[in-house]
C-alpha cells in the first residue's frame, strides 16, 4: 500500500469532511489492483498540493473585511461596498480586490478536482463502495458550484444600475464575505434556500404539459424545495418578468421559446432529461442550466430587451437582500 503524502496546511481549503472524502478515495485507489493505481494516487496528491498552495496564496492577499492603508489613502469594508455598488458589468473586475479574482480561479480548480476524483473512482473502483465515494465527490462538487452560482448572482446585482442602491450595497457586502472567507465559506449558511431548491429541481419530473407549471410546483414541494422559493413566485402580485424567470427555471427553456410555443399552440416542450442524470456530469450540467438562463437574462438587461432581467434565483436573492437589516447580509 502506498504511503499518503497528502498534506493539509494552516490555510487549507478543505474542511474535515472534505479531507475524509479525499483520504477515502486515496486509500481505495492505493489498495486497488488497477495497473494505474500508483499513477492515479500521485495525481490526487499533486492536485491536493496545488489546492493547498492556492489556499496559502489566497491568505497572502489582504482580506476585504479588514482595513488597509496605502500612503494617505485608506480602504475598509464600507468603502469597498460603496465602490462596488456603483460599478457596472464592464468595469466590475477593476474594482474587485485581487483576492476575489484569485478566489474565483480557486473555485474552478476545486470544482475540477472533485470531478477528477469522480472519474478516478469510475476508472479504478468497481465495488458498491466506489459508488458511495463517487456520490461523496459529487456532493463536494455541488458545494463548489453553489458558491460559484451565488457569487455570480451577487455580482450581477451589485453592478445592476436598475436596482436600488441599498440592494446593491447589500449584494456587495455579501460578496465581501465570500471573498474574505473563501476557504471556509458555505452558501447554505448565507442563502440556505438555494441548495434545497436546486436539489429538489433536479429530482422533479417535468412534463411540459400546458407550460403553466402547476404540476411541477407540486413536485418541487414534494421533493423538498424550500417553500420560500415557490411562495415568492406564487404570491398575488409577481411581476411578469419574475413569472417568466420562474417558468424558465421549471422548464429549462428560455422565455422567448416558451412564448413561441404558447403562440403556436404547441403547448408542450421537449425537456432535457440530463438534469436528472446520476453522474458526475449531473452537477456540471445543472450549473450550465443556470448559466444559460443567467447569460440570457444579462443580455436582456444590457440591451433593454423584453423578458426576465435576472434568473429565478436572482429575483429571490433580491427579495432576500431587501429583507436583511444593515449592509452585512453575510453575517
At 321 the pLDDT is 95
Look at residue 199 and tell me if it is in a domain.
yes
Q: What tens digit of pLDDT does each residue of 212-242 get?
A: 566 677 778 777 788 888 889 888 999 999 9
Residue 197 lies in a domain: yes
CA-closest candidate to residue 126, choices 32, 38, 20, 1: 32
- What sections of 159-239 are H helices per DSSP? 165-180, 187-190, 193-203, 214-222, 227-233
Say which residues have a Cβ less than 8 Å from residue 179's Cβ, sequence separation at least 6: 63, 64, 96, 97, 99, 100, 103
Question: How many domains does the chain divide into?
Answer: 1
* Residue 8 located in a structural domain: no
pLDDT of residue 102: 95
Residue 4 inside a domain? The answer is no
Integer-rounded Cα Rg, in Å, for the chain is 22
Determine the Cα–Cα distance for residues 111 and 18; give it in Å rounded to an integer.
13
Could you tell me if residue 6 is inside a domain?
no
Q: In 3-state terms, the chain is what percent helix, strand and coil (to 5)? A: 65, 0, 30
Question: Which phi and psi (to 5°) does residue 75 adopt?
Answer: -135, 135
330 lies in some domain: no
Residue 11 lies in a domain: no
Q: Give the domain extent around 68.
A: 16-323
- Rounded to the nearest angstrom, the gap between the alpha carbon of residue 258 and the centroid of all alpha carbons in its chain is 25
pTM of the model: 0.88
Show the cell assigned to 233. 413566485
**Residues whose CB is less than 8 angstroms from the CB of residue 239 and which lie 6 or more positions away in sequence, other chains included:** none
Per-residue pLDDT reduced to its tens digit, 8-61: 888 999 989 999 999 999 999 998 888 999 999 999 999 999 999 999 999 999
The rounded distance, in Å, linking the Cα atoms of 192 and 190 is 6
**Amino acid 330: pLDDT:** 46
Distance from C-alpha of 156 to C-alpha of 283, rounded to nearest angstrom: 22
Q: What is the pLDDT of residue 184?
A: 86
Q: What is the pLDDT of residue 217?
A: 79
Domain presence at residue 195: yes
Report the pLDDT value the prediction gives residue 267, as an integer from 0 to 100: 55
**DSSP single-letter state for residue 191:** S
Q: What is the pLDDT of residue 1?
A: 40
pLDDT beneath 70, residues of the chain = 1-5, 205-215, 265-281, 326-331
Please state whether beta strands 73-75 and 68-70 pair in parallel, antiparallel, or not at all (unpaired): antiparallel
Q: Distance between CA atoms of 11 and 232, rounded to whole angstroms? A: 39
Q: What confidence score (pLDDT) does residue 117 get? A: 94
Give pLDDT, residue 265.
Answer: 63
- Helical (H) or strand (E) element with 75: strand 73-75
Amino acid at each position: 500500500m502506498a504511503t499518503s503524502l497528502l498534506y493539509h496546511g494552516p490555510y487549507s481549503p478543505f474542511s474535515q469532511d472534505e479531507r475524509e472524502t479525499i483520504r477515502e478515495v486515496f486509500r481505495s485507489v492505493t489498495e486497488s489492483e488497477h495497473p494505474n493505481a500508483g499513477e492515479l494516487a500521485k495525481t490526487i496528491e499533486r492536485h491536493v498540493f496545488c489546492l493547498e498552495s492556492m489556499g496559502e496564496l489566497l491568505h497572502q492577499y489582504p482580506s476585504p473585511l479588514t482595513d488597509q492603508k496605502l500612503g494617505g489613502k485608506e480602504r475598509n469594508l464600507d468603502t469597498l461596498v460603496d465602490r462596488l455598488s456603483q460599478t457596472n458589468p464592464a468595469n466590475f473586475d477593476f474594482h474587485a480586490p485581487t483576492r476575489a479574482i484569485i478566489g474565483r480561479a480557486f473555485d474552478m480548480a476545486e470544482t475540477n478536482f472533485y470531478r477528477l476524483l469522480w472519474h478516478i473512482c469510475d476508472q479504478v473502483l468497481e465495488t458498491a463502495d466506489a459508488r458511495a465515494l463517487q456520490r461523496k465527490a459529487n456532493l463536494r462538487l455541488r458545494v463548489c458550484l453553489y458558491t460559484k452560482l451565488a457569487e455570480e448572482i451577487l455580482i450581477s446585482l451589485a453592478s445592476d444600475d436598475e436596482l436600488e442602491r441599498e440592494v446593491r450595497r447589500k449584494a456587495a457586502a455579501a460578496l465581501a464575505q465570500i471573498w474574505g472567507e473563501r476557504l471556509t465559506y458555505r452558501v447554505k449558511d448565507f442563502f440556505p434556500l438555494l441548495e434545497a431548491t436546486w436539489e429538489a429541481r433536479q429530482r422533479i419530473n417535468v412534463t411540459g404539459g400546458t407550460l403553466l407549471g402547476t404540476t411541477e410546483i407540486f413536485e418541487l414541494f414534494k421533493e423538498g424545495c424550500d417553500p420560500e422559493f415557490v411562495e415568492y413566485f406564487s404570491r398575488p402580485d409577481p411581476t411578469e418578468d419574475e413569472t417568466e424567470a420562474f417558468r424558465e427555471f421549471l422548464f429549462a427553456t428560455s422565455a422567448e421559446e416558451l412564448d413561441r410555443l404558447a403562440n403556436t399552440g404547441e403547448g408542450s416542450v421537449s425537456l432535457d432529461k440530463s438534469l436528472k442524470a446520476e453522474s458526475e456530469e449531473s452537477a456540471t450540467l445543472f450549473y450550465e442550466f443556470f448559466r444559460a438562463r443567467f447569460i440570457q437574462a444579462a443580455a436582456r438587461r444590457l440591451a433593454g430587451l423584453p423578458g426576465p432581467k435576472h434568473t429565478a434565483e436572482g429575483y429571490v436573492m433580491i427579495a432576500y437582500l431587501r429583507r436583511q437589516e444593515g449592509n452585512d447580509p453575510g453575517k
